[in-house]
Amino acid sequence: MTNSASQATRAPFEHSLGIIRQASIEILLLLGIHTTEGKEPRWFMEQLEQARLNLGGWGAVAKKLRINDAQLSQFMLQLRHLQQHVPQYDSGQEVSENQLLAALRFCHLAGASTSAAAATDVSKLSWKEPDQEAAS
């Protein structure tokens, strides 16, 4: 990837991770888990698992987030996908288009599925479905 292409991928990716970290704090707060900073997707997944244990199941988690079971399943699926593509990230490292797409999809889904205030920042991001990218 050229340097300008790398920067064009890295900037929205880092912005997306910032949104995800902030949204994770607010989502976890809705679930009764207090934290001061969001971390990597793996950490977020672990915290959601802890919330499930604390609340007694995924149904209770969905209810607290004011989403239905299907929306929660989609949310968790996209979070797992993001976790697989971005196990750990240090600012400035190379970012693949697949990592960027995983982050943008998760941001989009988080904004559509949850009532977290941070998710409103998602509207500032632009992304295309894979089919639309191929057509471009």
pLDDT tens per residue across span 21-80: 888 898 999 999 999 888 888 899 999 999 999 999 999 999 999 889 998 999 999 899
Model confidence, pTM: 0.72
- Can you give the pLDDT at residue 112? 56
Give 120-125's long-range contacts (Cβ < 8 A, gap of 24+).
Answer: 121/19, 121/22, 122/19, 125/12, 125/15, 125/16, 125/19
* Mean pLDDT on 116-136: 41
Q: Is the pLDDT of residue 10 over 50?
A: yes
Q: Report how many domains make up the chain.
A: 1
8 vs 30: CA distance, rounded Å: 34
Q: What are the phi and psi torsion angles at 128 (to 5°)?
A: -125, 150
SS (H, E, C) 11-69: HHHHHHHHHHHHHHHHHHHHCCCCCCCCCCHHHHHHHHHHHHHHHCCHHHHHHHHCCCH
- Can you give the pLDDT at residue 120? 40
* Mean pLDDT on 9-29: 87
Q: What are the phi and psi torsion angles at 23 (to 5°)?
A: -65, -35
Residue 114: domain span: 3-135
